[in-house]
Amino acid sequence: MKIVIAGSGEVGFHLAEQLVTSNQDVVLIEKNPQRAKFVADHLDCLVVQGEGGNPASLAEAGVDGADIFFAVSNLDEVNIVSCLMVASEFKVKTKIARVRNLQYRRSGILKNSLLGIDYVVNPEIEAARAIMNIIVHGATGEVLLFEDTDIQLRSIFIDENSPFRNKSLRAIRSDIRHNFIIAGISRADEVIIPYGDTVIAEGDRIYIVSSLQNMEKIIASTGRFRHKLQSVVVVGGGKIGCYVTEFLLATGRGVKIVEKDYQHCKYLAERFPEALVINEDIADEKLFEDEQLYASDLIVATTPDEALNMLTALYAKSLGVKRVIPVVNKSGYLNIADKLGIDATVSPKASSVGAILKYVRRGNIRRVYSIFDGKAEAIEFTVDSSSRIAGKMVKALQLPTGSLVVAVNRPDGAGSKNFVPNGEFVIQAGDNVVTFAKAEQVAALEELFLR
């Protein structure tokens, strides 16, 4: 598949990295010469130094005849113009734009076929959705949900007190009678697709798949009990903070918003009259005492400063706040968050890439999640009646090494049934199958589900 990406910021670079790993033909267009050189030195793909809306740059990138064009620069207008240029001058099957400003959507301008935009991705909305899912499920770790099912993928960090520490998967399954599967393990920089004799080690981050009911019991068995999160502090009144505040107020929670910009506080107070808007700098430690932020159930740090978000979360935990969620993109922060006792993190970059990958992956795709900083993916496929895997047992599918079928949702009349399958489980036409795979095995997995 030929894919052209205009813009190599956090989202563009991460998307290209993941697509290159899964053996796609990728070309990046980057305006800044220094950034273009950096990308060329770090990714195994062609990099064109130029503007995404420039016909000459697009032609040099070989966009004509490409399967997908992504416009993911940091400027909405540049992305819109780039898609317009591609649609008017070249033949490209699918054009996707990263657009942050909701006014464009509300005005209906993006629905104009003349702009040539097939799909729009908003990083802040995707990040806010991830935060909302985490809050709804008690903020005990990352929560990944799938379409029309209560099947979940949840992450658990293995510390020195974890009951899973130094135990094999077989022993863990013997101890916990609930139906579940450990789909993947992140250990240092390595992703492990485990088997029965794999031993869980301290410092591992594992992903567990199970139904909602069973998952709550499994999480509780690790000592992380679900708290009622009613009083919430949102740090930062930007786009993510606003989306999260809307959700919190709609669900009857009490909200305090901390924002240091006075003029923006006036806007927030008008937009959210039910919330208490505090015009202060969260870096002022006296604020926690003066405004009794320490008594909150949850603090969500959404400022553009990732280091400040991390420090806010750590300081809040030291004061006894039950749950904290910082918004971060840097891999370094994501990797140390578990070790520092942070309950969950959300990455707008990863959330956006997951939303975009849905349009890249072949087959009847319902949902894609980018996991372990792009080293693995969880993909939900629908099996149609002509598929060669319909009617086969899981053990007969010849799955590529480094991939698993971790869950199946089966429509059943007015409802559906959920399964965590074993090798004897038979896949049927109409099933929604959740897979977990290393990034380099995704292409082979797609081929299997396409046949």
Give all domains of the chain, ordered by start, each with its CATH number: 2-121 (3.40.50.720), 231-321 (3.40.50.720), 358-450 (3.30.70.1450)
Secondary structure of residue 67 in the 3-state scheme: coil
pTM for this one? 0.86
pLDDT at 212: 84
Rounded CA-CA distance 285/267 in Å is 25
Name the helix (H) or strand (E) containing 378: strand 376-382
Residues of the chain with pLDDT under 50: none
Tell me if residue 16 falls in helix, strand or coil.
helix
> What pLDDT, on a 0 to 100 scale, did the predictor assign at position 1?
85
What confidence score (pLDDT) does residue 39 get? Answer: 94
Q: Categorise residue 297: left if φ over 0, alpha if ψ from -120 to 50, beta otherwise.
A: alpha
Task: Read off the tokens for 48.
Answer: 């064109």
Q: What angle do CA 180, 129, 12 make, to 5 degrees?
A: 100
Tell me the Ramachandran region of residue 62: left when phi exceeds 0, alpha when psi lies from -120 to 50, beta otherwise.
left
H or E stretch including 57? helix 55-60
pLDDT value, residue 112: 56
pLDDT at 64: 94
Q: Say how far apart CA 378 and CA 179 lie, in whole Å.
A: 19
Gap between the Cα atoms of 398 and 261, Å rounded: 57
3-state SS class at 448 = helix
For residues 12 and 15, what is the distance between their CA atoms, to the nearest angstrom? 5
CA 170 to CA 256: how far, in whole Å? 46
User: How far is residue 130 from each of residues 111, 187, 223, 264, 362, measured CA to CA in Å?
Assistant: 26, 23, 23, 25, 24
CA distances, 312 to each of 193, 228, 294 (Å): 34, 21, 11
The token duo for 263 is 């003029």
